[in-house]
């Protein structure tokens, strides 16, 4: 169950990062509330996952899902630049996340 919590927490990290971008520095109420709610839920699920997973593994996977997810969100929904170097770099993060999962004893 801890891994499920962790993956959901990672997706919620993507959601709050997107909300943060749309909140325009917390000057827009709706996106600001969305950001606070999703960030709180993400932290809460991360905390639950960390009850049974090692700190380094859980935190790295949480931030990795958030980073790669935000990268993909930015390209698809915000029209951010796409280059082979950016894609290869994100791919390296994904490979690292897979390595952490496969090497975890939990």
| Structural domain boundaries in the chain | 1-104
For residue 68 the two structure tokens come to 């790669």
Grade residue 26 by pLDDT with cuts at 50, 70 and 90.
very high
Residue 87 has pLDDT above 70, yes or no: yes
CA 43 centroid distance within chain: 11
For residue 106 the two structure tokens come to 């939990």
For residue 3 the two structure tokens come to 């891994």
For residue 81 the two structure tokens come to 């630049």
Q: What share of the chain is helix, strand, coil (3-state, %, to 5)?
A: 80, 0, 20
CB contact at 8 A, 15 and 70:
no
Grade residue 106 by pLDDT with cuts at 50, 70 and 90.
low
Segment 12-32 mean pLDDT: 98
| pTM summary value | 0.88
Segment 2-15 mean pLDDT: 97
Grade residue 45 by pLDDT with cuts at 50, 70 and 90.
very high
């Amino acid at each position: 169950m801890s891994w499920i919590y962790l993956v959901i927490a990672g997706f919620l990290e993507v959601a709050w990062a997107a909300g943060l971008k749309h909140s325009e520095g917390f000057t827009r109420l709706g996106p600001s509330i969305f950001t606070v709610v999703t960030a709180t839920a993400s932290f809460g699920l991360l905390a639950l996952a960390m009850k049974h997973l090692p700190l380094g593994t859980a935190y790295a996977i949480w931030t990795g899902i958030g980073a790669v997810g935000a990268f993909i969100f930015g390209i698809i929904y915000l029209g951010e630049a796409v280059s082979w170097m950016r894609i290869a770099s994100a791919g390296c993060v994904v490979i690292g996340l897979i390595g952490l999962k496969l090497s975890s004893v939990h």
